[in-house]
Structure 1
């Protein structure tokens, strides 16, 4: 069986600088890829390429055998790629339920959870009818993930989802992401600096440095990789 998501030698240049430099990997449905590396290593730019925000300078991203790169963010959502951002992006005056109903319109026939099930999954019970601006910072981050899942994605891209969360909140988030991957067969790419959150969650970890892939393997292999320890994990 072929991979759900294939990233093939993707390069993204800004002027003369290669923010992403020849990155390749594959991702199966239901699996979680952790994407780590120092600040400025190209992780967020790579997410932008996957999400359609950035058109690759060269290389391709294919989803279920069809080219998904270079077509814009809106078409990427229609194709089944949803993304959250490091900074909170919500309609503050809208209730979460109103936002979810709008997001459901992007499903294009794909499977998605109901509002109540999403709220239960992400610990947002009782908050569906509150304005998003009234939610705590952690709840707003969870609400962004709920909105992304409401589109019925095949691939979910999470940019620093656990930032600002305490240990218990991050653990609950990891459980929710794993359930989404398992129960909806969603492939997940997670960028996060919180190794206590990310390493138990990820099936595979890809380490970037200076725009390129430094290492790829299981969490155990990455923890033991001397080059990764020297360039990144040793800084923690």
Structure 2
């Protein structure tokens, strides 16, 4: 390898998340077929495609709720293809869902605090042997949760039960909960779905604010206006395969993308 190539490799940061030749079969159906891509550290990457394209299965594979039939998934340079979802959370991967399901009778503050990782108070003995440590960690979690609710414009509802929230507010609450675990990357599953125009603007602003803190995003979204405004790059899937990638404008003009949407690819 030349000195120039060595220097270029050193200057290229390790992708925060990588899919390499990933395949997932369900019986005789191939939902994801030999898909490869990198999510670059610090970017907002969009994943779009017609219904049935394999986007949600790809998210499940990346998050660890589904295991690949073949191929490899790397998180912060480590192979995680066989790891469960909770272990990937510990490695810095967070995920939201299209339909958020907070604990309806708990306050917003408690919902966010529950997402705190590795608390000493989770162990029975620590509550007796190290009560000062448990108390200090609980206070830190409380303060952090309050700060995150402020970040997502929900602080005025901090002590209200989560059942009072609208659909858009629940998505903001879920974003705060994911942030509680200090993720390096967040997978967002259709953050615009079912959200009114006013709250959608808030969600877009909050994603930008969080991204400015160095958090990477990969999002599935059907709202092309949101994708165009937010995403640095866009991946397009159709029929379980990666069709193309580029800027939002580039993929919108790609004849293969137009065919996939208008031609009814599944």
Same fold (TM over 0.5): yes
Corresponding position of 1:155? 185
Match of 1:89 among 98, 101, 110: 101
Measured on the aligned residues, the alpha-carbon RMSD in Å equals 1.9
Corresponding position of 1:49? 61
Match of 2:117 among 95, 105, 126: 105
Does 1:73 find its partner at 2:85?
A: yes
Alpha-carbon distance, 1:5 to partner? 1.3
How many angstroms apart in 2 are the aligned matches of 1:147 and 1:27? Answer: 22
Q: Number of residue pairs matched?
A: 230
Give the direction of change, closer, same or farther, for the CA distance of 1:6–1:93 in structure 2 (3 Å limit): same
Q: Which moved more, 1:119-128 or 1:196-205?
A: 119-128
TM-score, normalised via structure 1 length: 0.92
Does 1:38 find its partner at 2:50?
A: yes
Q: Which runs of 5+ in 1 are unaligned?
A: none
Q: Which runs of 5+ in 2 are unaligned?
A: 1-12, 120-140
Alpha-carbon distance, 1:117 to partner? 2.9
Match of 1:120 among 127, 140, 150: 150
Matched-pair contact (CA < 8 Å) for 1:4–1:64: yes
Corresponding position of 2:250? 221
Alpha-carbon distance, 1:106 to partner? 5.3
How many angstroms apart in 2 are the aligned matches of 1:8 and 1:198? Answer: 24
Does 1:198 find its partner at 2:210?
A: no
How many angstroms apart in 2 are the aligned matches of 1:115 and 1:121? Answer: 10
TM-score, normalised via structure 2 length: 0.82
How many angstroms apart in 1 are the aligned matches of 2:183 and 2:99? Answer: 20
Give the direction of change, closer, same or farther, for the CA distance of 1:233–1:175 in structure 2 (3 Å limit): farther
Corresponding position of 2:199? 169
Matched-pair contact (CA < 8 Å) for 2:23–2:34: yes
- Aligned with 1:189: secondary structure? strand
